[in-house]
């Protein structure tokens, strides 16, 4: 088996938010199977730059699966074919020489394209600003064990907090719904004592913001869970619904 691949890429190119975009076809040769998907795009960009063409814009930062910057619909799958894997952690050995790979940006009204494969995900930031925090008084740090947290709640909250906010859930959902993201962010606080004081106003404000930003609603198809690189489960969505009902019925 050869250790290098020759591939045909169909890549979405769009010069600006308002410019009409189109797919352009590129060929890349001698791609090492040990490369990540983004490194493969780096190779293509080096080639484009040397030819005097515009390189392809794509988001990335840590390249180790923790920051949530990278994105990309790869052959119609968010972050490509592997489960719980970001695009930056996707290896080229997942592909065969001669493959054609279609690369598109996340598609959602709430995530407008900025350029090529880069979309504006600041809608997520605005949802967080609406309620995705715990207010604390400044001053000395409180003693680590002053507030008791049951281990199983800490584990669940931690699992929810592993959401890296990449937007794959929105990208994969047929309704471009942000429910998995919002549910993880609501859950990580709802499960902890520190989250209790603002529990109701948080879920109400974050859901209102989510709707205002133009995301769709949840129809329980569970596609988000399968696409999530951080392994966030739809248990969180049930908890979000529960928190929402609770806040509706009891909050003052």
Partner 1 sequence: MKRQTGGCCGLCWLWSSLSSTIGQKIVMALTGLALCGFLLVHLGGNLLLYVGEQKYNDYAHALHAQGALLLVAEIGLFAMFVIHIGLAFRTSFANAAARPIAYAMRQSKQDPGPLAQPPSGVMLATGIVVLVFLLVHLSDFKFFSVTRATGLRHQSVPADAAPFARAVGVLQDPISALVYFAGSLVLAYHVLHGFASAFQTLGLRHPKYTPLVKTLSLVFAIVVGVGFASFPFWAWTFR
Element (H, E) at 227: helix 223-227
Site string for partner 1, 190-229 (x = CB under 8 A): -----------x--xx-xx-xx--xxxxxxxxxx--xx--
Buried b (16+ CB within 10 A) or exposed e, 116-150: bbbbebebbeebbebbbeeeeeeeeeeeeeeeeee
Sheet holding 100-104, edge to edge: 22-32, 4-13, 100-104, 73-74, 77-78
Roughly how many angstroms between the first and final C-alpha of the chain, as a whole number?
A: 66
Find the shortest distance in angstroms from Cβ 173 to ligand HEM: 11
Site string for ligand FES, 60-79 (x = CB under 6 A): xxxx-xxxxxx---------
DSSP class of residue 195 equals G
20 in Cβ contact with 14 (< 8 Å): yes
The residue of the chain with the least Cβ separation from ligand HEM equals 219
201 binds, among ligand FES, partner 1, ligand HEM, none (CB under 5 to 8 A by kind): partner 1
Establish if 167 lies at the interface with ligand FES (CB under 6 A): no
Site string for partner 1, 27-66 (x = CB under 8 A): ----------------------------------------
Distance CA 227, CA 74 (A): 12
Distance CA 62, CA 160 (A): 21
What are the residues binding ligand FES (CB under 6 A)? 60-63, 65-70, 86, 88
What are the residues binding partner 1 (CB under 8 A)? 10, 23, 73, 75-78, 81, 83, 102, 104, 107-110, 130-131, 172, 174-177, 201, 204-205, 207-208, 210-211, 214-223, 226-227, 234-235, 237-245, 248, 251-252
């Amino acid at each position: 088996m050869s250790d290098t691949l020759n591939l045909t890429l169909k890549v979405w190119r769009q010069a600006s938010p308002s410019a009409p975009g189109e797919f352009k076809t590129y060929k890349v040769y001698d791609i090492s199977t040990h490369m990540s998907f983004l490194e493969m795009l780096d190779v293509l960009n080096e080639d484009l730059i040397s030819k005097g063409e515009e390189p392809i814009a794509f988001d990335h930062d840590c390249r180790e699966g923790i920051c949530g910057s990278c994105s990309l619909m790869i052959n119609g799958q968010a972050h490509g074919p592997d489960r719980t894997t970001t695009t930056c952690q996707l290896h080229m050995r997942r592909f065969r020489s001669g493959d054609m790979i279609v690369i598109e940006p996340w598609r959602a009204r709430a995530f407008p394209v900025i350029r090529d494969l880069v979309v504006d995900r600041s809608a997520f930031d605005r949802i967080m600003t609406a309620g995705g925090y715990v207010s604390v008084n400044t001053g000395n740090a409180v003693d680590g064990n002053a507030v008791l947290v049951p281990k199983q709640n800490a584990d669940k909250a931690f699992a929810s907090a592993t959401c890296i906010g990449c937007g794959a859930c929105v990208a994969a959902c047929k309704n471009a719904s942000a429910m998995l993201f919002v549910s993880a962010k609501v859950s990580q606080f709802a499960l902890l004592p520190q989250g209790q004081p603002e529990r109701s106003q948080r879920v109400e404000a974050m859901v209102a913001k989510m709707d205002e930003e133009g995301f769709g609603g949840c129809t329980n198809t569970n596609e988000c869970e399968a696409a999530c690189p951080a392994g966030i489960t739809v248990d969180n969505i049930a908890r979000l619904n529960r928190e929402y009902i609770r806040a509706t019925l009891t909050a003052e």
